[in-house]
Structure 1
Protein backbone atom coordinates (compact mmCIF):
# COMPACT_ATOMS: atom_id res chain seq x y z
CA UNK A 1 0.00 0.00 0.00
CA UNK A 2 1.23 3.47 -0.83
CA UNK A 3 1.58 5.38 2.45
CA UNK A 4 3.10 8.57 1.10
CA UNK A 5 1.41 11.94 1.08
CA UNK A 6 1.84 14.54 -1.61
CA UNK A 7 1.35 14.76 -5.37
CA UNK A 8 0.96 11.02 -5.87
CA UNK A 9 -2.41 11.36 -4.16
CA UNK A 10 -4.94 13.64 -5.79
CA UNK A 11 -6.24 14.96 -2.47
CA UNK A 12 -7.14 18.57 -1.79
CA UNK A 13 -7.71 19.72 1.76
CA UNK A 14 -10.37 22.16 2.87
CA UNK A 15 -9.64 25.80 3.60
CA UNK A 16 -11.95 28.56 4.88
CA UNK A 17 -13.59 29.14 1.50
CA UNK A 18 -14.27 25.45 0.89
CA UNK A 19 -15.67 24.89 4.39
CA UNK A 20 -18.04 27.83 4.13
CA UNK A 21 -19.07 26.86 0.61
CA UNK A 22 -19.88 23.29 1.67
CA UNK A 23 -21.79 24.52 4.71
CA UNK A 24 -23.78 26.99 2.61
CA UNK A 25 -24.63 24.32 0.03
CA UNK A 26 -25.95 22.07 2.82
CA UNK A 27 -27.63 24.96 4.66
CA UNK A 28 -25.55 23.96 7.70
CA UNK A 29 -25.31 26.31 10.64
CA UNK A 30 -22.93 24.94 13.27
CA UNK A 31 -24.75 24.26 16.54
CA UNK A 32 -23.46 24.39 20.11
CA UNK A 33 -25.76 21.48 20.99
CA UNK A 34 -23.68 19.13 18.86
CA UNK A 35 -20.40 20.85 19.58
CA UNK A 36 -19.89 21.73 15.93
CA UNK A 37 -16.81 23.85 15.27
CA UNK A 38 -15.36 23.09 11.86
CA UNK A 39 -11.59 23.22 11.31
CA UNK A 40 -10.79 25.55 8.42
CA UNK A 41 -7.00 25.33 8.41
CA UNK A 42 -5.23 22.65 6.37
CA UNK A 43 -2.00 22.95 8.38
CA UNK A 44 -3.90 22.17 11.58
CA UNK A 45 -5.45 18.93 10.33
CA UNK A 46 -2.11 17.83 8.91
CA UNK A 47 -0.54 18.54 12.29
CA UNK A 48 -3.22 16.47 14.05
CA UNK A 49 -2.60 13.56 11.71
CA UNK A 50 1.17 13.86 12.10
CA UNK A 51 0.96 13.89 15.91
CA UNK A 52 -1.40 10.90 15.85
CA UNK A 53 1.22 8.67 14.25
CA UNK A 54 -1.29 7.28 11.74
CA UNK A 55 0.19 5.43 8.75
CA UNK A 56 -1.21 3.75 5.70
CA UNK A 57 -1.50 0.50 7.65
CA UNK A 58 -4.08 1.96 10.03
CA UNK A 59 -7.83 1.69 10.07
CA UNK A 60 -8.89 4.95 11.69
CA UNK A 61 -12.08 5.72 13.56
CA UNK A 62 -12.99 9.39 13.24
CA UNK A 63 -15.81 10.72 15.39
CA UNK A 64 -17.66 13.79 14.15
CA UNK A 65 -16.05 14.22 10.71
CA UNK A 66 -18.31 17.18 10.02
CA UNK A 67 -17.56 18.58 6.57
CA UNK A 68 -14.51 16.33 6.09
CA UNK A 69 -11.48 18.51 6.90
CA UNK A 70 -9.72 15.93 9.06
CA UNK A 71 -11.00 12.99 7.01
CA UNK A 72 -9.17 14.25 3.93
CA UNK A 73 -5.95 14.74 5.88
CA UNK A 74 -6.19 11.18 7.22
CA UNK A 75 -6.61 9.87 3.68
CA UNK A 76 -3.33 11.54 2.73
CA UNK A 77 -1.53 8.95 4.86
CA UNK A 78 -3.02 6.04 2.95
CA UNK A 79 -5.09 4.92 5.94
CA UNK A 80 -8.72 3.89 5.65
CA UNK A 81 -11.30 5.79 7.68
CA UNK A 82 -14.52 4.82 9.43
CA UNK A 83 -16.28 8.13 10.05
CA UNK A 84 -18.98 8.15 12.74
CA UNK A 85 -21.32 11.12 12.29
CA UNK A 86 -24.51 11.83 14.27
CA UNK A 87 -25.81 14.57 11.95
CA UNK A 88 -27.71 12.93 9.06
CA UNK A 89 -27.13 15.86 6.70
CA UNK A 90 -23.37 15.79 7.26
CA UNK A 91 -23.22 12.00 7.09
CA UNK A 92 -25.02 11.96 3.76
CA UNK A 93 -22.84 14.72 2.32
CA UNK A 94 -19.42 13.36 3.32
CA UNK A 95 -19.06 10.75 0.53
CA UNK A 96 -19.72 13.47 -2.06
CA UNK A 97 -17.06 15.70 -0.49
CA UNK A 98 -14.55 12.84 -0.58
CA UNK A 99 -15.43 12.18 -4.22
CA UNK A 100 -14.80 15.84 -5.06
CA UNK A 101 -11.64 16.47 -3.06
CA UNK A 102 -10.10 12.97 -3.03
CA UNK A 103 -11.62 11.22 -6.06
CA UNK A 104 -9.24 8.26 -5.98
CA UNK A 105 -9.80 7.48 -2.31
CA UNK A 106 -13.56 6.96 -2.03
CA UNK A 107 -13.21 3.23 -1.38
CA UNK A 108 -11.20 3.92 1.79
CA UNK A 109 -13.95 5.79 3.63
CA UNK A 110 -16.93 4.26 5.41
CA UNK A 111 -19.54 6.62 6.87
CA UNK A 112 -21.58 5.43 9.84
CA UNK A 113 -24.64 7.47 10.78
CA UNK A 114 -24.71 7.04 14.56
CA UNK A 115 -24.20 8.65 17.93
CA UNK A 116 -20.69 7.59 18.97
CA UNK A 117 -21.90 7.17 22.55
CA UNK A 118 -24.46 4.60 21.40
CA UNK A 119 -22.31 2.66 18.94
CA UNK A 120 -22.02 -1.03 19.77
CA UNK A 121 -20.24 -2.21 16.61
CA UNK A 122 -18.53 -0.75 13.56
CA UNK A 123 -18.52 -2.12 10.01
CA UNK A 124 -15.39 -3.06 8.14
CA UNK A 125 -11.97 -4.21 9.37
CA UNK A 126 -11.05 -3.82 13.04
CA UNK A 127 -9.96 -0.24 13.76
CA UNK A 128 -6.42 0.38 14.97
CA UNK A 129 -6.47 4.14 15.62
CA UNK A 130 -8.84 6.82 16.88
CA UNK A 131 -8.29 10.35 15.57
CA UNK A 132 -10.98 12.95 16.07
CA UNK A 133 -11.96 16.51 16.81
CA UNK A 134 -14.36 15.37 19.49
CA UNK A 135 -17.51 17.35 20.33
CA UNK A 136 -16.37 19.09 23.48
CA UNK A 137 -19.59 18.54 25.43
CA UNK A 138 -19.22 14.72 25.28
CA UNK A 139 -15.50 14.26 24.64
CA UNK A 140 -14.56 12.21 27.71
CA UNK A 141 -17.57 9.83 27.59
CA UNK A 142 -16.99 9.23 23.86
CA UNK A 143 -13.28 8.53 24.32
CA UNK A 144 -13.83 6.13 27.22
CA UNK A 145 -16.71 4.38 25.46
CA UNK A 146 -14.68 3.72 22.33
CA UNK A 147 -11.60 2.58 24.26
CA UNK A 148 -13.80 0.06 26.07
CA UNK A 149 -15.72 -1.00 22.96
CA UNK A 150 -12.79 -1.35 20.55
CA UNK A 151 -9.88 -3.26 22.12
CA UNK A 152 -8.11 -3.34 18.75
CA UNK A 153 -7.45 0.41 18.99
CA UNK A 154 -3.69 0.72 19.46
CA UNK A 155 -3.09 4.47 19.43
CA UNK A 156 -4.66 7.77 18.61
CA UNK A 157 -5.08 11.46 19.16
CA UNK A 158 -8.11 13.56 20.00
CA UNK A 159 -8.69 17.28 20.08
CA UNK A 160 -10.69 18.38 23.11
CA UNK A 161 -11.20 21.45 25.27
CA UNK A 162 -7.83 22.49 26.75
CA UNK A 163 -8.95 21.94 30.35
CA UNK A 164 -10.20 18.46 29.47
CA UNK A 165 -6.91 17.68 27.76
CA UNK A 166 -5.10 18.67 30.95
CA UNK A 167 -7.35 16.39 33.02
CA UNK A 168 -6.98 13.40 30.71
CA UNK A 169 -3.19 13.60 30.78
CA UNK A 170 -2.75 14.66 34.41
CA UNK A 171 -0.49 12.57 36.69
CA UNK A 172 -1.47 11.59 40.25
CA UNK A 173 -1.01 14.40 42.72
CA UNK A 174 -1.63 17.25 40.27
CA UNK A 175 -4.48 19.72 40.67
CA UNK A 176 -6.15 18.58 37.45
CA UNK A 177 -5.95 14.84 38.22
CA UNK A 178 -9.41 13.33 38.49
CA UNK A 179 -11.89 10.77 37.20
CA UNK A 180 -10.99 11.22 33.49
CA UNK A 181 -7.27 10.87 34.30
CA UNK A 182 -7.70 7.57 36.15
CA UNK A 183 -10.17 6.02 33.73
CA UNK A 184 -8.09 6.93 30.68
CA UNK A 185 -5.02 5.46 32.41
CA UNK A 186 -6.87 2.15 32.72
CA UNK A 187 -6.70 1.80 28.95
CA UNK A 188 -3.68 3.75 27.80
CA UNK A 189 -0.61 5.85 28.39
CA UNK A 190 -1.88 9.39 27.79
CA UNK A 191 0.06 12.58 27.08
CA UNK A 192 -0.55 16.17 26.06
CA UNK A 193 0.45 16.71 22.43
CA UNK A 194 0.08 20.46 22.01
CA UNK A 195 -2.41 23.31 21.88
CA UNK A 196 -4.68 24.53 19.10
CA UNK A 197 -5.68 28.18 18.65
CA UNK A 198 -9.27 29.32 18.34
CA UNK A 199 -8.80 30.98 14.95
CA UNK A 200 -8.50 27.67 13.05
CA UNK A 201 -12.20 26.95 13.67
CA UNK A 202 -15.42 28.19 12.15
CA UNK A 203 -17.14 29.41 14.19
CA UNK A 204 -14.36 30.20 16.66
CA UNK A 205 -15.11 28.48 19.98
CA UNK A 206 -15.16 30.29 23.31
CA UNK A 207 -12.58 27.90 24.75
CA UNK A 208 -9.02 26.89 23.94
CA UNK A 209 -8.34 23.45 22.52
CA UNK A 210 -5.71 20.84 23.28
CA UNK A 211 -4.40 17.67 21.69
CA UNK A 212 -4.24 14.42 23.67
CA UNK A 213 -2.27 11.47 22.32
CA UNK A 214 -2.50 7.98 23.73
CA UNK A 215 -1.03 4.52 23.29
CA UNK A 216 -2.91 1.42 24.37
CA UNK A 217 -1.53 -0.58 27.24
CA UNK A 218 -2.76 -3.68 29.00
CA UNK A 219 -5.23 -2.88 31.79
CA UNK A 220 -4.16 -3.69 35.35
CA UNK A 221 -4.27 -7.37 36.27
CA UNK A 222 -7.04 -7.78 38.81
CA UNK A 223 -9.61 -10.15 40.26
CA UNK A 224 -12.38 -7.53 40.05
CA UNK A 225 -14.15 -5.97 37.09
CA UNK A 226 -13.42 -2.64 35.47
CA UNK A 227 -16.85 -1.49 36.63
CA UNK A 228 -15.95 -2.24 40.26
CA UNK A 229 -12.72 -0.27 39.98
CA UNK A 230 -14.45 2.66 38.27
CA UNK A 231 -17.10 2.72 41.02
CA UNK A 232 -14.29 3.28 43.53
CA UNK A 233 -12.81 6.00 41.34
CA UNK A 234 -16.16 7.79 41.03
CA UNK A 235 -16.69 7.63 44.80
CA UNK A 236 -13.16 8.80 45.58
CA UNK A 237 -13.59 11.99 43.57
CA UNK A 238 -17.21 12.66 44.51
CA UNK A 239 -16.02 14.88 47.37
CA UNK A 240 -12.49 15.92 46.54
CA UNK A 241 -11.76 17.56 49.88
CA UNK A 242 -12.70 14.51 51.92
CA UNK A 243 -10.46 11.63 52.91
CA UNK A 244 -10.97 8.23 51.29
CA UNK A 245 -12.14 6.75 54.58
CA UNK A 246 -15.21 8.98 54.45
CA UNK A 247 -16.06 8.98 50.75
CA UNK A 248 -15.80 5.18 50.41
CA UNK A 249 -18.17 4.55 53.32
CA UNK A 250 -21.10 3.98 50.98
CA UNK A 251 -19.29 1.32 48.96
CA UNK A 252 -17.87 -0.43 52.01
CA UNK A 253 -21.02 -0.36 54.13
CA UNK A 254 -19.45 1.62 56.98
CA UNK A 255 -16.56 3.91 57.75
CA UNK A 256 -14.83 1.15 59.70
CA UNK A 257 -15.08 -1.26 56.76
CA UNK A 258 -13.76 1.41 54.38
CA UNK A 259 -10.79 2.08 56.66
CA UNK A 260 -10.04 -1.62 57.00
CA UNK A 261 -10.11 -2.09 53.21
CA UNK A 262 -7.81 0.88 52.70
CA UNK A 263 -5.31 -0.35 55.28
CA UNK A 264 -5.35 -3.83 53.72
CA UNK A 265 -4.68 -2.23 50.32
CA UNK A 266 -1.72 -0.35 51.73
CA UNK A 267 -3.43 3.04 51.42
CA UNK A 268 -3.54 5.73 54.11
CA UNK A 269 -7.24 6.08 55.08
CA UNK A 270 -6.74 9.84 55.30
CA UNK A 271 -5.38 10.07 51.74
CA UNK A 272 -7.46 11.64 48.99
CA UNK A 273 -8.32 10.25 45.59
CA UNK A 274 -6.15 12.69 43.69
CA UNK A 275 -3.00 11.12 45.17
CA UNK A 276 -3.66 7.56 43.95
CA UNK A 277 -2.59 5.71 40.83
CA UNK A 278 -4.95 3.49 38.85
CA UNK A 279 -3.20 0.44 40.33
CA UNK A 280 -3.91 1.66 43.85
CA UNK A 281 -7.58 2.09 42.98
CA UNK A 282 -7.52 -1.50 41.76
CA UNK A 283 -6.15 -2.71 45.11
CA UNK A 284 -8.87 -0.83 46.99
CA UNK A 285 -11.57 -2.32 44.77
CA UNK A 286 -10.19 -5.81 45.40
CA UNK A 287 -10.21 -5.29 49.17
CA UNK A 288 -13.73 -3.86 49.09
CA UNK A 289 -14.94 -6.78 47.02
CA UNK A 290 -13.60 -9.14 49.64
CA UNK A 291 -15.09 -7.25 52.57
CA UNK A 292 -18.58 -6.40 51.28
CA UNK A 293 -21.08 -9.27 51.68
Structure 2
Protein backbone atom coordinates (compact mmCIF):
# COMPACT_ATOMS: atom_id res chain seq x y z
CA UNK A 1 0.00 0.00 0.00
CA UNK A 2 2.85 2.38 0.80
CA UNK A 3 4.41 1.69 -2.59
CA UNK A 4 1.07 2.26 -4.29
CA UNK A 5 0.72 5.61 -2.53
CA UNK A 6 4.34 6.60 -3.13
CA UNK A 7 4.68 6.91 0.64
CA UNK A 8 7.99 7.28 2.40
CA UNK A 9 7.57 7.48 6.20
CA UNK A 10 8.99 10.71 7.59
CA UNK A 11 10.59 11.48 10.95
CA UNK A 12 8.99 14.93 10.80
CA UNK A 13 5.55 13.35 11.17
CA UNK A 14 6.81 10.58 13.45
CA UNK A 15 5.61 7.91 11.02
CA UNK A 16 6.36 4.40 12.30
CA UNK A 17 3.48 2.19 11.21
CA UNK A 18 2.39 -0.90 13.15
CA UNK A 19 2.06 -3.89 10.84
CA UNK A 20 1.72 -6.82 13.25
CA UNK A 21 -1.87 -8.11 13.68
CA UNK A 22 -1.20 -9.61 17.10
CA UNK A 23 0.00 -6.25 18.39
CA UNK A 24 -3.08 -4.32 17.28
CA UNK A 25 -5.36 -7.00 18.73
CA UNK A 26 -3.43 -6.82 21.99
CA UNK A 27 -3.85 -3.03 22.07
CA UNK A 28 -7.60 -3.29 21.57
CA UNK A 29 -7.89 -5.89 24.34
CA UNK A 30 -5.77 -3.83 26.74
CA UNK A 31 -7.86 -0.72 26.07
CA UNK A 32 -10.84 -2.43 27.77
CA UNK A 33 -13.32 -0.88 25.36
CA UNK A 34 -17.06 -1.51 25.31
CA UNK A 35 -19.35 -1.77 22.26
CA UNK A 36 -20.73 1.68 23.16
CA UNK A 37 -17.34 3.41 23.14
CA UNK A 38 -16.45 6.02 20.54
CA UNK A 39 -12.69 6.05 19.96
CA UNK A 40 -10.55 8.91 18.72
CA UNK A 41 -7.47 7.48 17.02
CA UNK A 42 -4.58 9.84 16.32
CA UNK A 43 -2.25 9.02 13.45
CA UNK A 44 -4.01 5.96 12.02
CA UNK A 45 -1.45 5.76 9.22
CA UNK A 46 -2.13 2.80 6.93
CA UNK A 47 -5.01 1.61 9.12
CA UNK A 48 -3.80 -1.51 10.94
CA UNK A 49 -5.02 -0.39 14.37
CA UNK A 50 -8.14 1.18 12.85
CA UNK A 51 -9.20 -2.16 11.39
CA UNK A 52 -8.72 -3.83 14.78
CA UNK A 53 -10.78 -1.14 16.53
CA UNK A 54 -13.80 -1.09 14.21
CA UNK A 55 -15.34 -4.41 15.34
CA UNK A 56 -14.94 -3.52 19.02
CA UNK A 57 -16.63 -0.11 19.29
CA UNK A 58 -19.54 2.02 18.18
CA UNK A 59 -17.41 4.40 16.10
CA UNK A 60 -13.83 5.44 15.35
CA UNK A 61 -12.93 9.08 14.72
CA UNK A 62 -9.49 9.00 13.08
CA UNK A 63 -7.39 12.18 13.05
CA UNK A 64 -4.64 12.08 10.42
CA UNK A 65 -2.30 14.95 9.55
CA UNK A 66 -1.05 13.38 6.28
CA UNK A 67 -3.66 14.17 3.60
CA UNK A 68 -2.67 11.20 1.44
CA UNK A 69 -3.21 8.79 4.32
CA UNK A 70 -6.40 10.56 5.41
CA UNK A 71 -7.85 10.11 1.91
CA UNK A 72 -6.84 6.47 1.72
CA UNK A 73 -8.11 5.26 5.12
CA UNK A 74 -11.84 5.15 4.24
CA UNK A 75 -10.95 3.19 1.09
CA UNK A 76 -8.96 0.70 3.15
CA UNK A 77 -11.83 0.27 5.61
CA UNK A 78 -14.35 -0.25 2.81
CA UNK A 79 -12.06 -2.80 1.18
CA UNK A 80 -10.99 -4.76 4.28
CA UNK A 81 -14.09 -4.40 6.50
CA UNK A 82 -17.01 -3.31 4.30
CA UNK A 83 -19.63 -4.22 6.90
CA UNK A 84 -17.94 -1.93 9.46
CA UNK A 85 -16.75 0.95 7.27
CA UNK A 86 -19.69 3.15 8.24
CA UNK A 87 -18.32 3.26 11.78
CA UNK A 88 -15.25 5.19 10.59
CA UNK A 89 -14.89 8.94 10.13
CA UNK A 90 -11.63 10.60 9.16
CA UNK A 91 -10.61 14.15 10.01
CA UNK A 92 -7.59 15.50 8.12
CA UNK A 93 -6.02 17.68 10.81
CA UNK A 94 -3.16 18.18 13.22
CA UNK A 95 -4.20 16.49 16.48
CA UNK A 96 -2.47 19.27 18.43
CA UNK A 97 -4.91 21.77 16.95
CA UNK A 98 -8.08 19.72 16.58
CA UNK A 99 -11.13 20.95 18.49
CA UNK A 100 -14.19 19.11 19.69
CA UNK A 101 -16.20 20.93 17.01
CA UNK A 102 -13.93 19.49 14.29
CA UNK A 103 -15.02 15.93 15.09
CA UNK A 104 -18.33 14.40 14.09
CA UNK A 105 -20.86 13.00 16.49
CA UNK A 106 -21.07 10.91 18.60
CA UNK A 107 -18.71 12.43 21.17
CA UNK A 108 -15.48 10.45 21.78
CA UNK A 109 -15.28 8.43 24.99
CA UNK A 110 -11.78 6.95 24.59
CA UNK A 111 -8.37 7.54 23.01
CA UNK A 112 -6.56 4.59 21.44
CA UNK A 113 -3.56 5.44 19.28
CA UNK A 114 -0.03 4.75 18.15
CA UNK A 115 1.18 8.29 18.80
CA UNK A 116 4.09 9.92 16.96
CA UNK A 117 7.09 9.91 19.30
CA UNK A 118 7.78 13.62 18.96
CA UNK A 119 4.31 14.83 20.07
CA UNK A 120 2.96 12.07 22.31
CA UNK A 121 2.75 14.08 25.53
CA UNK A 122 1.22 17.29 24.13
CA UNK A 123 -1.33 15.31 22.08
CA UNK A 124 -2.58 13.38 25.12
CA UNK A 125 -2.83 16.52 27.26
CA UNK A 126 -4.51 18.52 24.50
CA UNK A 127 -7.14 15.88 23.76
CA UNK A 128 -7.98 15.35 27.43
CA UNK A 129 -8.46 19.10 27.83
CA UNK A 130 -10.44 19.49 24.61
CA UNK A 131 -12.60 16.36 24.79
CA UNK A 132 -14.16 16.07 28.26
CA UNK A 133 -16.19 13.03 27.24
CA UNK A 134 -13.03 10.89 27.08
CA UNK A 135 -13.09 8.51 30.04
CA UNK A 136 -10.18 6.19 29.26
CA UNK A 137 -7.27 5.73 26.92
CA UNK A 138 -4.47 3.47 25.75
CA UNK A 139 -1.64 4.98 23.76
CA UNK A 140 1.61 3.66 22.38
CA UNK A 141 4.53 6.03 22.97
CA UNK A 142 8.28 5.89 23.44
CA UNK A 143 9.04 3.70 26.45
CA UNK A 144 10.71 6.52 28.40
CA UNK A 145 7.70 8.75 27.76
CA UNK A 146 5.34 6.10 29.10
CA UNK A 147 7.53 5.85 32.20
CA UNK A 148 7.45 9.62 32.74
CA UNK A 149 3.70 9.90 32.22
CA UNK A 150 2.96 7.11 34.69
CA UNK A 151 5.55 8.19 37.29
CA UNK A 152 4.50 8.84 40.88
CA UNK A 153 5.67 11.80 43.01
CA UNK A 154 9.07 11.17 44.54
CA UNK A 155 10.39 9.06 41.67
CA UNK A 156 13.18 10.11 39.32
CA UNK A 157 10.89 9.98 36.29
CA UNK A 158 8.24 12.24 37.85
CA UNK A 159 8.07 15.65 36.23
CA UNK A 160 5.94 18.05 34.23
CA UNK A 161 4.25 15.38 32.05
CA UNK A 162 3.36 13.19 35.05
CA UNK A 163 1.96 16.05 37.11
CA UNK A 164 -0.10 17.48 34.24
CA UNK A 165 -1.54 14.12 33.18
CA UNK A 166 -2.46 13.48 36.83
CA UNK A 167 -4.74 16.54 36.64
CA UNK A 168 -6.92 14.62 34.20
CA UNK A 169 -6.36 10.94 34.84
CA UNK A 170 -4.74 8.09 36.75
CA UNK A 171 -2.10 6.50 34.50
CA UNK A 172 -0.23 3.20 34.49
CA UNK A 173 2.23 1.32 32.30
CA UNK A 174 0.49 -1.38 30.24
CA UNK A 175 3.44 -3.29 28.83
CA UNK A 176 6.29 -3.03 26.29
CA UNK A 177 6.01 -3.14 22.50
CA UNK A 178 8.85 -4.71 20.48
CA UNK A 179 10.55 -2.67 17.79
CA UNK A 180 10.01 -5.34 15.12
CA UNK A 181 6.24 -4.67 14.89
CA UNK A 182 6.88 -1.26 13.27
CA UNK A 183 7.74 -0.18 9.76
CA UNK A 184 10.21 1.40 9.56
CA UNK A 185 11.80 -0.13 12.67
CA UNK A 186 12.41 2.70 15.18
CA UNK A 187 15.69 3.10 17.05
CA UNK A 188 13.89 3.47 20.39
CA UNK A 189 11.74 1.16 22.51
CA UNK A 190 7.99 1.65 22.76
CA UNK A 191 5.49 1.05 25.51
CA UNK A 192 1.78 1.18 26.23
CA UNK A 193 0.29 3.71 28.62
CA UNK A 194 -3.24 3.28 29.98
CA UNK A 195 -5.19 5.95 31.81
CA UNK A 196 -8.62 6.51 33.35
CA UNK A 197 -10.24 9.93 33.69
CA UNK A 198 -10.86 11.23 37.18
CA UNK A 199 -12.12 14.49 38.64
CA UNK A 200 -9.39 17.16 38.84
CA UNK A 201 -8.53 18.87 42.11
CA UNK A 202 -10.18 22.25 42.84
CA UNK A 203 -8.55 25.15 41.05
CA UNK A 204 -7.83 26.71 37.68
CA UNK A 205 -5.99 24.32 35.35
CA UNK A 206 -4.05 27.03 33.51
CA UNK A 207 -2.78 28.52 36.78
CA UNK A 208 -1.84 25.09 38.14
CA UNK A 209 0.00 24.15 34.94
CA UNK A 210 1.89 27.47 35.01
CA UNK A 211 2.98 26.65 38.56
CA UNK A 212 4.05 23.12 37.58
CA UNK A 213 6.17 24.51 34.74
CA UNK A 214 7.81 27.02 37.10
CA UNK A 215 8.48 24.43 39.81
CA UNK A 216 10.15 21.92 37.49
CA UNK A 217 12.12 24.52 35.51
CA UNK A 218 14.60 24.44 38.39
CA UNK A 219 13.81 21.03 39.84
CA UNK A 220 17.13 20.71 41.67
CA UNK A 221 16.38 23.78 43.76
CA UNK A 222 14.21 23.96 46.86
CA UNK A 223 10.77 25.34 46.08
CA UNK A 224 11.46 28.58 47.98
CA UNK A 225 14.07 29.42 45.36
CA UNK A 226 12.55 27.67 42.35
CA UNK A 227 9.25 29.55 42.76
CA UNK A 228 10.67 32.98 43.52
CA UNK A 229 9.85 34.22 40.03
CA UNK A 230 6.36 32.73 40.14
CA UNK A 231 5.56 34.26 43.54
CA UNK A 232 7.50 37.51 43.10
CA UNK A 233 10.29 36.81 45.58
CA UNK A 234 11.73 33.96 47.67
CA UNK A 235 9.95 35.34 50.74
CA UNK A 236 6.60 35.40 48.95
CA UNK A 237 7.16 31.85 47.71
CA UNK A 238 7.93 30.72 51.26
CA UNK A 239 4.79 32.43 52.55
CA UNK A 240 2.61 30.66 49.99
CA UNK A 241 4.27 27.30 50.66
CA UNK A 242 3.86 27.56 54.41
CA UNK A 243 0.25 28.67 54.00
CA UNK A 244 -0.63 25.28 52.50
CA UNK A 245 1.61 23.21 54.75
CA UNK A 246 4.49 22.60 52.33
CA UNK A 247 8.06 22.96 53.53
CA UNK A 248 9.94 25.68 51.61
CA UNK A 249 12.82 23.20 51.34
CA UNK A 250 10.78 20.61 49.44
CA UNK A 251 11.50 20.06 45.76
CA UNK A 252 9.02 19.92 42.90
CA UNK A 253 9.18 16.14 42.49
CA UNK A 254 7.77 15.66 46.01
CA UNK A 255 4.43 17.36 45.23
CA UNK A 256 1.42 15.63 43.72
CA UNK A 257 -1.05 17.51 41.54
CA UNK A 258 -3.38 18.18 44.48
CA UNK A 259 -0.55 19.92 46.34
CA UNK A 260 0.24 22.00 43.24
CA UNK A 261 -3.43 23.00 43.04
CA UNK A 262 -3.51 24.10 46.70
CA UNK A 263 -0.31 26.07 46.21
CA UNK A 264 -1.58 27.78 43.06
CA UNK A 265 -4.62 28.98 44.99
CA UNK A 266 -2.34 30.45 47.68
CA UNK A 267 -0.30 32.58 45.28
CA UNK A 268 0.21 36.06 46.76
Query: In structure 2, how many angstroms separate the alpha carbons of the residues matched to 1:126 and 1:38?
Result: 26
What SS does the aligned partner of 1:261 have? helix
Aligned to 2:256: 277
**How large is the Cα RMSD of the aligned pairs?**
0.7
Aligned to 2:88: 109
- In the alignment, is residue 35 of structure 1 matched against residue 14 of structure 2? yes
Segments ≥4 residues shifted beyond 4 Å: none
Contact 1:67 1:90 in 2 (8 A): yes
- In the alignment, is residue 52 of structure 1 matched against residue 34 of structure 2? no
Aligned to 2:153: 172
Query: In structure 1, how many angstroms separate the alpha carbons of the residues matched to 2:107 and 2:58?
Result: 13
Aligned to 1:10: none
1:78 CA drift (Å): 3.7
Contact 2:39 2:57 in 1 (8 A): no
Range that drifts further, 119-128 or 27-36: 119-128
Aligned to 1:17: none
Contact 1:179 1:233 in 2 (8 A): yes
Aligned to 1:123: 104
Aligned to 1:262: 241
- The partner residue of 2:48 within 69, 94, 106 is 69
Aligned to 2:168: 187
Aligned to 2:113: 132
- In the alignment, is residue 93 of structure 1 matched against residue 52 of structure 2? no
Task: Give the total of aligned pairs.
Answer: 266
- In the alignment, is residue 244 of structure 1 matched against residue 223 of structure 2? yes
Aligned to 1:157: 138
Query: In structure 1, how many angstroms separate the alpha carbons of the residues matched to 2:229 and 2:220?
Result: 17
Contact 1:59 1:125 in 2 (8 A): yes
Query: In structure 2, how many angstroms separate the alpha carbons of the residues matched to 1:174 and 1:79?
Result: 39
Contact 1:54 1:79 in 2 (8 A): no
Contact 2:177 2:189 in 1 (8 A): yes
1:55 CA drift (Å): 2.0
Query: In structure 2, how many angstroms separate the alpha carbons of the residues matched to 1:228 and 1:78?
Result: 36
Greater gyration radius: 1
Contact 2:38 2:57 in 1 (8 A): no
Query: In structure 1, how many angstroms separate the alpha carbons of the residues matched to 2:231 and 2:219?
Result: 18
Q: List gaps (5 residues or longer) in structure 2.
A: none
* TM-score when normalising by structure 2: 0.98
1:144 CA drift (Å): 0.1
Query: In structure 2, how many angstroms separate the alpha carbons of the residues matched to 1:78 and 1:112?
Result: 18
* TM-score when normalising by structure 1: 0.90
- CA offsets per residue over residues 57-84 of structure 1, 9 Å max, x none? 1000000000000000001214310000
Contact 2:33 2:57 in 1 (8 A): no
Aligned to 2:200: 219
- CA offsets per residue over residues 156-186 of structure 1, 9 Å max, x none? 1000000000000000000000000000000
- In the alignment, is residue 141 of structure 1 matched against residue 119 of structure 2? no
What SS does the aligned partner of 1:76 have? helix
Contact 1:188 1:217 in 2 (8 A): yes
